[in-house]
Amino acid sequence: MLVYGPEFFANTALPTALDMVQRLPGFTLDIGNGDARGIAGNTGNVLIDGKPPASKTDGLGEILRRISAGSVARIELIRGGAPGIDMQGKSVIANIVRKPGGGFRGVAALAVNNSWDGRHVPTLRLEGSGDDGPRRWELGVLGGGFIDDGYAGGHGVRISPTGRVTPFDIDGEADGKTAQATGVYETPLLGGKVRLNGRVYAERYKSEDNAIFPDQRHAELNVDHFRTTDTELGGTFTRKLGERTTLEVVGLRQSSDQTTTSDFTDGVASAFALKRESTETIGRTVLKYRASERLSFEGGGEYALNALDSVTRLSVAGAPINLPAGGVEVEEDRIELFAKAVWRPTDKWTVDGTLRYETSKISSDGDVELGKTLRYLKPRLTLTWAPVASTQVRLRAEREVGQLDFDDFVAEAKFTESTGVTAGNPDLNPEQAWVGEVAVEQRFWGAGSLTVAYRRFELKDVVDRGPVFTPDGDIFDRPENIGDGSKDELSVEFSVPLARIGLNGATLKGDLVRRWSRVEDPTTGETRAISRLRPLEWNASYTHDVPTRKLTYGAEVYGGWRQRTYSFDQERITKLRTFVKPFVEYRPRPDINMRLELPNVTGRGLKRTVLTYPGPRNLGGAPSLEDRDYDVGQMVYFRIRKTLGG
């Protein structure tokens, strides 16, 4: 375990715990997957006072942003495992330990994002927290707008199977509004401590993506509207049962209501509508036993009841079209039992072992009627060896079982990507993988680190894309289990303090992931990569703290990436170009922080390419091609933040 106290951050004057964890050497923030069902392993790689956040829908980044840097006593970086710590299935965990007491703390922040096309979108954040002895409370509200820079003007071209070239212009933009209220209350109860949390979130989003052709009379117009309302109410009860045993009970219920409408016309009007309501109720109990400083055990179980009710409608030229799984009601009862042990036989070795057993019953009514029971045994073993203080080797073997995504169960429309409407499929099995991993971490120059990791995945029931036929003879693309496959990942993470070359307070950080994958295409029978898997991703950042000037400046570089998606009659390639975000933060007073960003100073672009075949790809035939090149302009973001109290 590495401990980073106030002295490590002394010259940075970072405003929040989020900024602090992003500065940790050898650590990359993982905010988790709040959309996945259940709690275990979905809450990210940061603990707060030794516990994962009780909330699922309140993002980890938002939770950390509400913790002021002044309230943090230290941050513990736990690598490989440690007795008494639930690693949440991660190799590296950051544990934020807060100071006791401190009284009232508050934050008021106003931000404005100014886009290249003249839009000015403000956001207001008001938050407060405090404690009265053993009681603690938190309240927060957030409201304003956002700009989706994935939509912009640009140019496109279509090439027919015969070679005819048709250029067109793109007129597009997307933005929305959000509102959120959160609350937390913690108090002693029944000899232990209870923590209650609640959240209400609403979002309204609109996107337009129009293609205008040279004759100015021919246009393809697409407008999408999305409305989302989420709620969550949860609680965690913790009590010590003696000096070495701790009981933890978690209860949570969340709901999400979504409405989507997509209208598309190219001379013929197409209209798609989706209404989706989902709920999740979770109960989780964990019993932890610390046998000694070198050995700990824990065991427990989690029950989750998930329900989805969705209705979709599609019409073309006013005539209704039947969709597979157009209206379904899905319910999942899932139980997971687990046992875990962490042992440190010597100061150089740590063994972390977990055995989980999951059983779930899935039933569906409506357009698709089914009932099935799934059972999986999920062992995990991690060995950590530290031959010297500056070097650590981590080995992992695990059977992973993915979460079924309820979004795959229902139909969706993607007219802007020239894919039309894709069908839903409630009869999916979760993707499974046997995973082997080896990672080597080397510390140097005090705060420097380099981690190289290789992971091998042997996959079963890969979730990808396949065709489905309706009784009317129509054919649609939908999610499918397409068989077995494999995936390999090589990752590199580094953090280099630059004081050795005369740049005191400067740090260079970066990460890179290279991926290879193989699966059999269900349409052609040929071997190909897995859909939507990006072969290469990388990011880098340069940060320079200048305490004498009360400022921090730097730049973040987001590497370009490419991903390819396959369906029975299409190949879709999306490319994002590399872009740079310089920034500067100025602190005229300890309680005032001003930040200026240029989120896209290099004017990045987004390109979508679609190859459409006259039928299934295995039948041959020359495809048509459509290229859409979006020119995303520069933006200017400014935020002023005022802290109150400690």
pLDDT, tens digit (0-9, with 9 covering 90-100), for 251-297: 999 999 999 999 988 888 888 898 999 999 999 999 999 999 999 99
16 in a structural domain: yes
CA distance 488 to 394: 17
Residue 570 has pLDDT above 60, yes or no: yes
Other C-beta atoms lying within 10 Å of the C-beta of residue 342: 24
CB distance 266 to 304 below 8 Å = no
Residue of 447 and 39 predicted with greater confidence: 447
> For the segment 333-343, what is each residue's pLDDT rounded down to a tens digit?
999 999 999 99
Q: What is the DSSP string of 268-290?
A: SEEEEEEEEEEEEEEEEEEEEEE
Q: What is the 3-state secondary structure (H, E, C) of 383-420?
A: EEEEEECCEEEEEEEEEEECCCCHHHHCCEEEHHHCCE
Residue 277: its pLDDT value, please? 93
H helix runs in 144-297, sequence order? none
Q: Are 161 and 176 in contact (CB under 8 A)?
A: no
pLDDT tens per residue, range 591-608: 899 999 998 888 778 899
Residue 240 in domain: no
What's the sign of the alpha-carbon dihedral 310, 40, 63, 132?
A: positive
CA distance 86 to 297: 10
Strand-strand pairing, 570-576 and 605-612: antiparallel
**Number of domains present in the structure of the chain:** 1
Residue 38: inside a domain, yes or no? yes
Q: What CATH number is associated with residue 69? A: 2.170.130.10
pLDDT at 416: 58
Q: Is the model more confident about 318 or about 112?
A: 112
In a domain, 32, yes or no: yes
46 is in which domain, residue-wise?
1-99
Whether residue 12 lies inside any domain: the answer is yes
Unique residue bearing structure tokens 């005819």: 164
With cut-offs at 50, 70 and 90, classify the pLDDT of residue 356: very high
**Which tokens in the block code for residue 269?**
């009007």
**Does residue 35 have a pLDDT over 60?**
no
Q: Are 363 and 330 in contact (CB under 8 A)?
A: yes
pTM for the whole structure: 0.87
Give the residue-averaged pLDDT of 292-304: 94
Mean pLDDT for the chain overall: 88
In a domain, 93, yes or no: yes
In order of 176, 232, 307, 373, the CA distances from 363 in angstroms are 35, 24, 10, 9
- Residue 216 maps to a domain: no
Lowest mean pLDDT among 143-152, 244-253, 318-327, 486-495: 318-327
Measured CA to CA, the distance from residue 230 to residue 235 in angstroms comes to 17
Cα–Cα distance list, 374 to 325, 540, 577 (Å):
21, 42, 41
The mean pLDDT of 372-386, rounded to a whole number, is 94
On the question of pLDDT at 181 being above 90, the answer is yes
Q: Has residue 142 been placed in a domain?
A: no
